[in-house]
Copies of this chain bind each other. A is one copy, B any other.
């Protein structure tokens, strides 16, 4: 049970967008090269980020992606949920009359995690990184 690799890519891409050029659009070509992943595949994740309202896309020549909100508003939770969805870790297919106590317990615990992930902003990491998020090799 792990976050998908797509989340990994998305986090690194956001990290780059925040650290490098908050205003100027960055092409998927450059991002894909930095992360060592194909353009078409990475674009799927970036599109998800767009639909989640985290970034903004501009078509045409010299286009690319740039941040939509203030960079301090973008949390880890935002990125993770944009990719992984916002379904609970525990969801039973069988619905019965009384409320499910098991789901309740897991949901409560998950809420703790989400709270922490929401408080952590992408920009928080940038400060600790010398120049820019390193290129991924794998």
Residue numbers of A with Cβ under 8 A of B are: 1-4, 7-8, 11-12, 15, 76, 84-85, 87-94, 96, 101-102, 105-106, 108-110, 112-117, 120, 125, 128-129, 134, 136-138
Contacts and interface: CB of A to CB of B under 8 A. Distances in A.
Given A112-B113, A113-B113, A115-B112, A76 B91 contact: no
B8 A138 contact: no
Given A1-B85, A8-B90, A89-B2, A128 B101 contact: yes
A125 B116 CA distance: 26
19 contacts: A1-B3, A1-B4, A1-B84, A2-B91, A3-B90, A3-B106, A76-B105, A76-B106, A76-B109, A94-B137, A94-B138, A101-B125, A101-B128, A102-B125, A105-B117, A105-B120, A110-B113, A112-B112, A113-B113
